[in-house]
Amino acid sequence: MGAVIRDGFAVVDKPSGWTSHDVVARCRRFFQTRKVGHAGTLDPMATGVLVLGIGKGTRLLSHVVGVGKTYEATIRLGHATDTDDADGNITSTHDASAVSDADVAQALAQLSGTFAQVPSTVSAIKVDGKRAYARVKSGEDVTLKPRTVTVEWTAVGSLREVSAAPELRECDVVVEVSSGTYVRALARDLGEILGVGGHLTSLRRTRVGKFSLEQASLVSDIEALHDAGVFPPLMTLGRAASHVMSTLRVGVQEARALTYGQRPAAPQETPADVPVAIIGPDDSLVAVAQVDSGNLRPVSVFQDPGP
């Protein structure tokens, strides 16, 4: 058997009802380290891809945060809520039975491409050092600044009647969004454009950059391995880095120089002005570096200097 990998990424399929921090806290025990972090919060209601950095892998998470994401969601029309999802309280009710698929398509056209979105008020965005949701919970009126987002609706299902409430309508969608986009806010804005209110009833993240559900493990499966005395498998640092940035393979001498903080010459094909994962002869991640005056300047070193 090969050596146990204790530093890297774990891609987890977050269960509904858990916060992202709940997953991190549980995985600290499973992976036997306090050094566990995640790249992008999922709401408690949501499920799907949560990328975890384990050990030295936490130092790569900042390169994951800004990547695009894909979601499967269900939007309910006719009810607006104070959280823009099903976990909130209903704030308005309208009859959505007259809304057609064509109406939805026209409204979604206004929520496509690159535009300014006002995030959901009940969010983790900080306002003067305090989370927006905490300010709302304490009774404050919170107004968040718009942010530029990019949205592409890749699938939109037909409207269907909600069995328990025939005046409401639901549709399933698949949407690809840039970092910082709130899918809850898209549901809210769709309802506002149609004049009937809207919110999410389900949300599943299927992709974060190059990380997908196909790579994800259930928390229960990770726990079962831990309980059986097996250290759960991790994506190696080298493979994880290759998912989030360009890579450059170097020889033994260049790898050793980088571990000492030295700046070996950069090959001409090395991308400039962006972080590059430096991969050693044994496929391990040596460092993250950037080209500086024709040399590789180590930004973060992942290996100890050799003998």
Residue 133 C-alpha from the chain's centroid: 19
Q: Are 29 and 213 in contact (CB under 8 A)?
A: no
* Bridge-based pairing state of the strands 36-38 and 276-279: unpaired
Q: Which of 7, 13, 22, 43 is catalytic?
A: 43
Helix axes 183-194, 101-110, angle to 10 degrees: 120
Nearest CA among 13, 43, 91 for reference residue 201: 43
195 — alpha (psi -120 to 50), left (phi > 0) or beta?
Answer: left
Respond yes or no: is residue 82 known to be catalytic.
no
Question: Distance between CA 262 and CA 255 in Å, rounded?
Answer: 10
Question: Residue 277 burial by CB count (10 A; 0-12/13-18/19+): exposed, middle or buried?
Answer: buried
Q: Spell out the residues 6+ positions from residue 55 whose beta carbon is closer than 8 angstroms to its own.
A: 6, 7, 8, 31, 33, 35
Q: CA angle, corner 136, sides to 135 and 140, nearest 5?
A: 75
Q: Are 108 and 189 in contact (CB under 8 A)?
A: no
Greatest extent of the chain over all pairs of C-alpha atoms, in Å = 74
| Residues annotated catalytic, as ranges | 43
